[in-house]
Amino acid sequence: MTTLGLSALPRPGALRFAAQAPPLDKDALVHRILSEHPLNHAVELVLPWARDRAISANAKQTNAADSVTRMSVAQPLKSAEFHVIEIPLLALLDTEFLQRHVRNGHFVAMSVSERLDGSTCVPAVADGFLTLSLSKEAYELCGLEGQLSKHEIQQRHTVRIHLAAESFVPGKSHYERVKWCFAERLTRSFKFVCTDAATYTNGDQPAPSPAHALNKHALAPARTLHLSHTEQRAVTVPQLLVAPIESVAAQDNATLGPYLSTWQTWFGAISCGISLAPRAADDFASTFQFEGVEVEISDTGDAVPLAVSISKFTGIVSSEQIKRVVARARAYLATCPELPWAALNIWGFIDAPVAYGDREHCLEQANGENDVTLILFRDGGSCVLSTASSRNELT
């Protein structure tokens, strides 16, 4: 495996990059990145329709059978459910709930009405840990051990409680201390979105949900929802003048940073529905120019088009669900020799107390950016782009 890290990028840097040549386990890098990024708010699957630079005018009339096949790549997300429930933190210590849903490490939950830059407590559960981002006053009140924020956001503190630990059981000192804190100090209820990834690992149909174990503690029964889904089967986007993204391994250190920034901007423009084609200045509208992004222009002055299909899902999406989409995308690429890549744009929660791995989410330096783009190549290789900071320092 070849991995290129931050040293390969010019400063100021707003990008992290890792690439992997096709080893025996072709998605080891992708699976590691996904496992380190469990709190996902939205996932977008982007598939090009053809490798050719010339796209016919009837691109939207693409073979119907192939259209159905490519849309099935995202089937694990189409059938996925999540739950909205309002509970006190004390409910998360329910022994039946801990045993059935937390100790396997697949339960994920994120509070949705709290803000890292203002709320007294922002809780989230992932990988068997409950993470609390607390204001200074709430931290001093709760009496639990934690760490001062590295980024000094209003002097916040972070407390991490290993809910899945074998020793975290009633009667043990740490469990009883946390229980006292949640019963006497941090007593308010929080609205969570949650899902249990383990219920989807053995099939598309969900198993009994964690909401059933938590409903007895809830202010009202949990609501079960499907991920919000939008689908565009043939979107025309501009071609870039730079080398294809699958040529990333051929870039040297001098060109790598600008090359990857161009592609990250291109994927971002697709997600936002922004045209990168040049336009005449408009005195009555504000405009934004993408630095260093050049698109291919035809003899008529129009951008040369590329057709892509886009499927986007929003709610709370587990890493395990995304891994299943990656496996289906790999299988689809194997059946379509004309397609060079497939991409997934993944958005984390803006106010998640943790971002990648166990690292604290750097809200003040990253402006809430907590995103990653996975690009899968036909040869089994992959490329991962993630925003590290929108300021001049990497976090």
* CB neighbour list of residue 310: distance below 8 Å, 6 or more residues apart: 44, 45, 46, 230, 231, 232, 235, 270
Give dist(CA 245, CA 188) in Å, integer: 49
3-state SS assignment for residue 256: helix
Q: Please state the length of the chain.
A: 395
In the chain the first and final C-alpha atoms are separated, in Å, by 24
Structure tokens at 142: 């709760």
Q: Give the bridge partners for 107, in sequence order.
A: 196
Specify the pLDDT at position 234: 76
279 Rama sector, left if φ>0, alpha if ψ -120 to 50, beta otherwise: beta
CB environment 292-306: b (16+ within 10 A), e (fewer): ebebbeeeeeebbbb
Specify the pLDDT at position 380: 86
* CB neighbour list of residue 279: distance below 8 Å, 6 or more residues apart: 287
Give dist(CA 277, CA 100) in Å, integer: 52
Instruction: Give one DSSP letter per residue of 85-152, joined into a string.
Output: EEEEGGGGG-HHHIIIIITTS-EEEEESS--TTT-SEEEEEETTEEEEEE-HHHHHHH----EE-TT-
Structure tokens at 1: 């495996």
Specify the pLDDT at position 18: 61
The CB-based long-range contact list for 389-392 (8 Å cut-off, 24+ gap) reads: 389/13, 389/14, 389/362, 389/365, 390/14, 390/365, 390/366, 391/12, 391/14, 391/365, 391/366, 392/11, 392/12
Averaged pLDDT in 10-residue chunks for the chain of 395 residues = 30 50 67 89 89 43 56 88 96 94 88 89 94 94 90 78 97 98 97 81 58 90 94 78 77 81 84 68 60 63 74 94 93 86 92 77 57 89 74 36
Given strand 223-226, what is the order of strands in its sheet? Answer: 147-148, 157-162, 129-134, 121-126, 107-111, 189-196, 81-88, 223-226
Give dist(CA 136, CA 121) in Å, integer: 10
Strands (E), the chain: 16-20, 40-48, 81-88, 107-111, 121-126, 129-134, 147-148, 157-162, 189-196, 223-226, 228-238, 305-317, 341-348, 371-377, 382-386
Q: What are the extents of the domains in the chain?
A: 6-79+228-280+289-386, 82-226
Q: Which residue's entry shows tokens 């949705």?
A: 112
To the nearest 10°, the Cα dihedral for 220, 221, 224, 230? -10
Structure tokens at 160: 């991490």
Give dist(CA 385, CA 375) in Å, integer: 8
State pTM to two decimals: 0.83
Quick check: bond before 244 cis, omega within 30? Answer: no
